[in-house]
Amino acid sequence: MQTTSILTMLVIVGGLALWWNDEVSITIHSAGRNLIDISTTFENEEHSFCSFVYGPPQKEDKKEFWESMTNIIIDLNNQWCIIDDSNIVAKQGKKDGGNLVDHLQANWFNNLLDICGIMDMPIQGGDFTWLNQRVEDDEIQEKINGILVNSNRNNRFCNAIGVMEPTIGSYHSPIVCLFKGLSREKKKL
């Protein structure tokens, strides 16, 4: 029987929440306000690594955080992905309304993508993952959440699908990462 494995991250009042279904076995390596690092095993196969990120909202903390994330990723030689709320708009086309994108902050984030060979996975359900919930001229929408994977061509995360869920009680839309095509035998009762 084909099943879908799910890992989901949600930013809750400046922190992270993480949940998963029974199709995913995880080991938590570190957990803090801005970062949860785990390894996963699907069907007793090779470990894959995931980082769940809540990028610091304060400008003075962003450069150091993204430089440290770059160093962590460079050291990994396995399948890897980030499910993130970067708190950075990577380019002007990922923002509608408000001030122009801060290119210095965007460069810190884009350097991580370039140096580590990371791809931004498409997300179904909309172009923007954050909305200030105002109307007309005061409305601001940004894509600051996403799923990033390293470019290891055997990376199972390259087949993942990101789905944006409706915003409920938050300015952020939850992102669900679906891992397609994993087989699992149905347990007999």
127-167 pLDDT, tens per residue?
Answer: 888 888 888 888 999 988 888 887 765 566 667 778 888 87
Q: Rounded to the nearest 10 degrees, how much is the dihedral formed by the CA atoms of 15, 56, 141, 135?
A: 70
| 169 or 12, which is more confident | 169
Both tokens assigned to 50? 């995931």
All domains of the chain, ordered by start, with CATH? 2-183 (3.60.10.10)
Residue 58 pLDDT greater than 80, yes or no: yes
Those residues with Cβ within 8 angstroms of residue 36's Cβ, 6 or more apart along the chain or in another chain: 9, 16, 18, 28, 30, 51, 52
Q: What percent of the chain has pLDDT over 70?
A: 78
Q: What percent of the chain has pLDDT over 90?
A: 12
Whole-model pTM?
0.79
Tokens 């601001």 belong to which residue?
Answer: 140
